[in-house]
Every structure is written in C-alpha cells, then in structure tokens.
Structure 1
Amino acid sequence: MKGNLFIITAPSGAGKTSLVGALLDGDEHLKLSVSHTTRQPRPGEIEGVHYYFVPEAKFVEMLGHGDFLESAQVHGGYYGTSGSTVDAVLQQGLDLILEIDWQGAQQVRQQYQDAISIFILPPSIEALEQRLNNRGQDSAEVIKRRLAAAREEMSHVAEFDYVTINDRFEHALEDLRAIIRSQRLRRDKQLARHQDVVQNLL
C-alpha cells in the first residue's frame, strides 16, 4: 500500500520546522523528505538530515537531468526535492512530509494529485517579525525581505487543502496530527491496510 504524501508550507518564521520535528517524534511511519539546497547551512543544520547542501553548479546539473520533483529559487538560494527518493519512500508504505514553498507545492500537485497540502500561518505579521528577530540568524535587511516574501507566500493559502494557525504550538501540532490521522483513516487506505479483517467480516 502506497504511503501518503503531505506537503507542508509556511512563511519563514511561522514555526514549520519545529512543528514538523514534533510530528516526526514517535511516529515511525512518518518520514521527512530531505531537500537539496545551494544556500549555506545555518547553525545546527546537519548535512543529509536537514538538507543536502550542494554547489549551485551541481544543483543546475541535477535540474538539467530532471532529478527534481520540484525546485524553486527562494531568498537567493535554490531548493529541490529528488523525485526518485520521494517515490521510493511512498512505495514502502510510509507517509512522507515535504517541507516546501507554495511554488514547489504547485509543481508536486501536478505529479501527485492525491498529495495532501497544509499551510501553516502565523497569528500576525507582528508575531512573525518578532519570531524572525528572536532567531538571531538574519540581519535586519534579510528579515525585511523575508517579511515581504511572507506576504506573497501567504497570498497563496487558498490553494491548500488544510490551514492551521500557529498561535499556540500545541494547538497547531494537534491540528497537524489530526490531518495526518484522518488521511490514514480514509476508506481506501483502511481497506488496503486491513484486507484480512475486512474479508473475514464480509
């Protein structure tokens, strides 16, 4: 039985990475797709765990070979998701999360029309700006650009299947868990997963 493909999108600073990390804890059937990027690693990021960090020339080469399911240029860096890696995980029956932007989400839905897309919103622009400042990773100019990009990204929220607002972390986390659980309980998934039970009952 093929796994579910979840697309999770949010503007920078909305808490997506922390929420996804909490989702993955304790759920052995849920995996995170590791994207390729040309940007430099941030403090604490590990090669092959958070991203595959590659030179721009290598990324362009992979793009030319059609290796990416989706790719985009964001904040001056390139990002891409390996199509073969995604398919391999889903064929194992595992659920997979793609942490990608709205452009990538559009590209993925063209090839995986049954992908489940989720948009995480901050409670306000002011809260988003405060979170970006609190990270202490970016200059004032970079934060200004990220806020402008956030407004553009959030204008695409209507394209997504589900929306949650990360005002309180635990509430947003429960929303995401509920979405994942509901997809696992869909008729086609349950009948495929429990064929023996259903046959005995009928």
Structure 2
Amino acid sequence: MIDEKGILFILSGPSGVGKGTVRKALFEKDTDLKYSISMTTRTKREGEQEGVDYFYRSKQTFEDMIKNNELLEYAEYVGNYYGTPREYVEATLNEGKDVFLEIEVQGALQVKKNFPEGVFIFLFPPSLEELKNRIVNRGTETEDLVKNRLLAAREEIEMMDAYDYVVVNDKIDTAVSKVQSIVRSEHCKRERVAKQYKKILEAD
C-alpha cells in the first residue's frame, strides 16, 4: 500500500446548503471513510452511545482540552461545548484510514489553523435564492432567522478562498460523485505518493 497515512477531508458550507445530506449519501457509497466523532459536554440522550454518537466529557475536562490544544475546533452552543478531538482524528489517520469531517464554516477555519494539511471542500448552493428556499422549506425558521442565515451565508461564501475545492450542491448524486473524485485524486497527488516511493527506494 502506497498511502501509509490517511487524509482528513473537511466538508463545510453555509447553513441550509445540504452538508448533512451529502455526507450521509457519501457514506452510503463509500464505506472506507471514517466519520469524525465529535465531543460534547451535553448529557447523553436515550439510545446514544459513547464513541458512536459523541464522546461525552465533563465541562472541566473539555475546557482543559481547549487549554492543551487537544481539539481541532470547538464551539459553545446553548450552554454546552461541542468539538473535534485531535487524538481520535490523528489516531485514525495513522491507521491509514481517511477521516471525514462535516462542519460549519467557522469550525472549518479553526481546523485549517490547527490542521492545515487537511483537504477543505466548500459546498456551494446553486444560488442564494435556492439556499433561501431550502432554509424556508425546513419549516423551522422564523422570517428573521431566515434573513440572518442568508446574511451569514453571504459572509461565509466570501471565506471560500480558504478552501481547496468547491462543489456545487445542485443534485445530491452529482455532488457526492464530485466529493468521491476529490478523495481519489488527493490519494494520487505526487507529493503524497513520492514520500512513500522514497521509503521504498531507501529500503532497497
């Protein structure tokens, strides 16, 4: 096997663009990817499992991890912390497995700072009008919230320059195919392959 270490892929984009839908469809087709399990300080809900749904930790433990730079990203939401533990991601990558992280734009920019070797994919809406329709069709947002989400989306789209790839989520299957192509092409990059071939040559 040429690739000894896995690759961290980060998928993000504005709220309502369909990150979760694309990720779920991708994992139905690509069983080799490992989903990055988040850590949280919220209480475990009925039916949830440690190390499957989340890693559940106390607020003190989480804050200690923040101080020790043990999280690739984190955020506080409704009094609870959520974040991506560095140890789990790096251990999985070192096993030669690719890790896939689906996250909001602000979180992705934190990961970029803490793990710049990751591959960053921006999921882009076909248009702002379509994005608005998707948010409205959820039926869970007030008119003011819809406006705020669209304003935030405009700001997040301007952060696209921080990403390596852009995938337009017009049709789910097409978007998933493009993400799969990105995963395959990253494994064929010269700089990744060259490192392993040099080891092979040195071994001879």
TM-score, length-scaled by structure 1: 0.78
Supply the distance in 1 between the matched residues of 2:23 and 2:170 (Cα, whole angstroms). 15
Which deviates more, 174-183 or 146-155?
146-155
For 1:122-165, what per-residue CA distance to the aligned partner results, in whole angstroms no more than 9, with x for missing partners? Answer: 11122112111222333333333222221111110111110011
Kindly state the Cα deviation for residue 95 of structure 1 after the two structures are TM-superposed: 0.5
Match of 2:125 among 122, 128, 146: 122
Supply the distance in 2 between the matched residues of 1:7 and 1:159 (Cα, whole angstroms). 12
For 1:94-138, what per-residue CA distance to the aligned partner results, in whole angstroms no more than 9, with x for missing partners? Answer: 101122233333332334332111100111122112111222333
Instruction: Tell me the equivalent position of 2:82.
Output: 79
Instruction: Tell me the equivalent position of 1:143.
Output: 146
Q: Is the 8 A contact 1:117 1:162 kept in 2?
A: yes
Question: Which residue identity lines up with residue 11 of structure 1 in the other structure?
Answer: P
Supply the distance in 1 between the matched residues of 2:142 and 2:8 (Cα, whole angstroms). 35
Question: Which residue identity lines up with residue 180 of structure 1 in the other structure?
Answer: V
Length, aligned pairs only: 198
Identity of aligned residues (%): 39
Instruction: Tell me the equivalent position of 2:70.
Output: 67
Match of 2:175 among 162, 172, 189: 172
Supply the distance in 2 between the matched residues of 1:131 and 1:29 (Cα, whole angstroms). 30
Q: Is the 8 A contact 1:32 1:97 kept in 2?
A: yes
Instruction: Tell me the equivalent position of 1:108.
Output: 111
Q: Is the 8 A contact 1:164 1:172 kept in 2?
A: yes
Which deviates more, 81-90 or 168-177?
168-177
Q: Is the 8 A contact 1:72 1:103 kept in 2?
A: no
For 1:1-42, what per-residue CA distance to the aligned partner results, in whole angstroms no more than 9, with x for missing partners? Answer: 11011111111110111111111124232111122356899x
Supply the distance in 1 between the matched residues of 2:56 and 2:129 (Cα, whole angstroms). 31
Q: Which structure 2 segments of 5+ residues have no match?
A: none
Structure 2 CA distance for partners of 1:106 and 1:141, relative to 1, 3 Å: same
Match of 1:132 among 126, 131, 135: 135
Q: Which structure 1 segments of 5+ residues have no match?
A: none
Structure 2 CA distance for partners of 1:48 and 1:131, relative to 1, 3 Å: farther
Structure 2 CA distance for partners of 1:136 and 1:194, relative to 1, 3 Å: farther
Query: Secondary structure, in 3 states, of the residue corresponding to 2:101?
Result: strand
Supply the distance in 2 between the matched residues of 1:51 and 1:10 (Cα, whole angstroms). 22
Q: Is the 8 A contact 1:8 1:117 kept in 2?
A: yes
Supply the distance in 1 between the matched residues of 2:128 and 2:80 (Cα, whole angstroms). 23
Supply the distance in 1 between the matched residues of 2:151 and 2:49 (Cα, whole angstroms). 28
